[in-house]
């Protein structure tokens, strides 16, 4: 779970205003950060299938948001993909 301080930094960096948590980029970065943290947990706890399911749901949501962003504004999509070091398969 990410702390409020980290979440606020992400919102300041990717949002238009300091309280803009609804922007697609902000949501994608927050989900990516949560997936990164959860991956470390799943490496240590291989039999935690409930958390694994939650991670898969988060990855699906991130995929949908990335597809939306790609359709809406390809320049913002490419900048975000480059910044997060993700592959362009959306």
| Segments making up each domain of the chain, as ranges | 4-84
pLDDT grade, residue 1 (50/70/90)?
A: confident
CATH superfamily assigned to domain 4-84: S15/NS1, RNA-binding (1.10.287.10)
If you average pLDDT over residues 8-31, what whole number do you get? Answer: 95
Cα 58 to Cα 35, 40, 49, 55: the distances in Å are 7, 15, 14, 5
The predicted pLDDT at position 89 comes to 85
The predicted pLDDT at position 25 comes to 97
Residue 85 Ramachandran class (φ > 0 left, ψ -120 to 50 alpha, else beta): left
If you average pLDDT over residues 65-70, what whole number do you get? Answer: 97
Is the pLDDT score of 90 beyond 90?
no
């Amino acid at each position: 779970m990410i702390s409020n301080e980290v979440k606020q930094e992400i919102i300041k960096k990717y949002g238009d205003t300091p309280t803009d948590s609804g922007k697609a980029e902000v949501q994608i970065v927050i989900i990516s950060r949560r997936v990164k943290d959860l991956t470390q947990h799943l490496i240590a706890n291989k039999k935690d299938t409930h958390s694994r399911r939650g991670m898969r749901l988060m990855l699906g949501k991130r995929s949908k948001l990335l597809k939306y962003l790609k359709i809406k504004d390809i320049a913002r999509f490419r900048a975000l993909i480059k910044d997060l070091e993700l592959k362009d398969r959306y």
